[in-house]
């Protein structure tokens, strides 16, 4: 039997954030209120909306406007990376509380396909949540496409006072 047609070996499922017991301490309403207070300088429509909070993950969405498009009518890279960063920030805050000074220490983004101008959603899942650092996997998608439009791994530094 060739390698290409041989059955895949059984692999034990990796524990997810839910299995590791990450429990949120803030809900979607509290996170949306915090984001509005923490970032009061721009229009509210520029903030991503927190739609769901669950153990180990959050779901955000954003409606891209004309100012978020690049030539060709697709959502710009900076807009997608900002949403990925916001989703990771919210995932951390949802699980450690209102720690405004948690900051991005690394962000690696992969553009997977062009993103049309429609509601962009970001699902952020905690990979690791420690006392001083969090690592978050973020998947960006739109409802009209079968596959993700982007993926990021974001690392956040959490201040000692948290």
Nearest to 26 by CA among 89, 82, 80: 89
| Per-residue pLDDT at 67 | 92
**Amino acid 9: pLDDT:** 43
pLDDT for res 161: 74
**Burial class, 82, CB count within 10 angstroms (exposed 0-12 / middle 13-18 / buried 19+):** middle
pLDDT < 70 positions in the chain: 1-20, 45, 162
Q: Using CA atoms, how far apart are residues 63 and 93, in angstroms rounded to an integer? A: 22
The predicted-structure confidence for 105-139, as pLDDT tens digits, reads as follows 999 999 999 999 999 999 999 999 999 999 999 99
Whole-number pLDDT of residue 162: 58
| The pLDDT value given to residue 149 | 98
Is the Cβ–Cβ distance between 24 and 54 less than 8 Å? yes
CA distance 11 to 73: 42
All domains of the chain, ordered by start, with CATH? 17-157 (3.10.129.10)
Q: pTM score, two decimals?
A: 0.86
Is the separation of the CB atoms in 125 and 91 below 8 Å? Answer: yes
Asked if 151 and 138 touch (Cβ cutoff 8 Å), the reply is yes
C-alpha closest to that of 144 among 75, 59, 44, 72:
75
CB 112 within 8 A of CB 150: yes
User: The tokens 């807009």 sit on which residue?
Assistant: 79
Q: Distance (Å, rounded) from C-alpha 90 to C-alpha 40?
A: 16
């Amino acid at each position: 039997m060739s390698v290409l047609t041989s059955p895949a070996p059984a692999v034990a499922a990796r524990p997810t954030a839910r299995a590791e017991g990450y429990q949120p301490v803030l809900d979607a309403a509290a996170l949306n209120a915090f984001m509005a207070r923490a970032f009061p300088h721009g229009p509210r429509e520029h903030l991503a909306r927190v739609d769901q909070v669950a153990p180990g993950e959050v779901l955000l969405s954003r409606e891209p406007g004309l100012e978020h498009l690049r030539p060709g009518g697709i959502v710009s890279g900076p807009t997608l990376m900002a949403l990925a960063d916001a989703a990771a920030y919210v995932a951390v805050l949802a699980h450690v509380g209102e720690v405004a000074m948690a900051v991005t220490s690394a962000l690696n983004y992969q553009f997977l396909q062009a993103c049309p101008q429609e509601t962009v959603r970001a699902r952020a899942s905690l990979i690791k949540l420690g006392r001083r650092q969090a690592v978050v996997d973020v998947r960006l998608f739109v409802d009209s496409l079968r596959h993700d439009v982007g993926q990021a791994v974001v690392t956040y530094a959490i201040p000692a006072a948290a």
